[in-house]
Amino acid sequence: MMSKIHPSTSSGSKGGDNNNMLLREKEEDMRPCMLTVWKRSSMSFQGTDGFTVFDNQGRLVFRVDNYSRNSRRVAAAGLLLMDGAGNALLSLKPQILSMQYQWNGYREESDRCGKRGMSKAFTMRSSSLLFHSGKDEAKVFMMGSGPTRRKQAHQTPDFKIEGCFRSRNCKIKNANGDLVAQIARKRANSTILLSDDVFSLLVYPGFGTDLVMAFVVILDRISSKPYTPVLCS
């Protein structure tokens, strides 16, 4: 429940009201963003599979709809992360013939001539083909625009994911070791845990929630049983 914001008892100026509003907005920006992730498509017909993600006010903020667990179909079409209105944010595709379990994320961008196309945003790979050890881990390499950044992208990870996604117990850290996001089981109250199809995603200020949610979607794929290497074209 949102806390009530009481009006000032004094008859302050309109400028003072605006300042108070800006201060409240700044305070909101400094707070972690708590999301509830439901591993279920927002589409109701049979055979769909995906995610619906809500903010702390119950608004739909992200969705992944109508994709198949069949690895060949996923490799051909990939997964599409959308906002609540259905606008495409990131296209997620498995790496072809990868020796590690690797996925790539793409954003739609425009070049100098205004022509739109897909640009690779990041690469995420597991540190183990099995990905079911006690300390599960994945590494994320962001793509830059310069040749130096592209070279570094294959050496030092920009983000590291530790823990066990299947147990809904993960931490995402950046290259400096700062905590970016946490994945945890969702509680109905202090004593009752919900099923692992519903879990919490806490994203700290300064990090894009859409990017973190893309990591979660890929984690769901690479930690699913049974493990099936992506060897399709």
Structure confidence by residue, pLDDT tens digits, 41-57: 766 545 557 899 999 99
CA of 46: how far to CAs of 22, 42, 58, 183, 199, in Å?
Answer: 46, 11, 24, 28, 23
pLDDT of residue 8: 40
Among candidates 140, 141, 106, 139, which has minimal Cα distance to 120? 106
pLDDT-derived band of residue 68, with 50, 70 and 90 as boundaries?
low
**In 83-195, alpha helices (H):** 147-152
3-state helix, strand, coil in the chain (%, to 5): 20, 35, 45
| Range in 14-23, 80-89, 95-104, 138-147 the model is least confident about | 14-23
Q: Which of 2-6, 9-13, 172-176, 221-225 has the highest mean pLDDT?
A: 172-176
- Residues 150, 141: Cα–Cα separation, whole Å: 9
pLDDT of residue 17: 59
Quote the longest CA-to-CA distance of the chain.
Answer: 69
Task: State pTM to two decimals.
Answer: 0.74
Answer for the pair 83, 61: CB distance below 8 angstroms, yes or no: yes
DSSP 3-state of 113: coil
What percent of the chain clears pLDDT 70, i.e. is strictly above it?
62
Going along the chain from its start, the domains and CATH numbers come out as 32-222 (2.40.160.200)
Query: Which residues face 199 on adjacent strands?
Result: 37, 185
Structure tokens at 215: 């990591």
Q: Quickly list DSSP for 87-102.
A: -EEEEEEEPTT-SS-E
φ and ψ at residue 219, rounded to 5 degrees: -55, -40
Residue-wise pLDDT tens digits, 111-129: 666 667 788 999 998 865 5
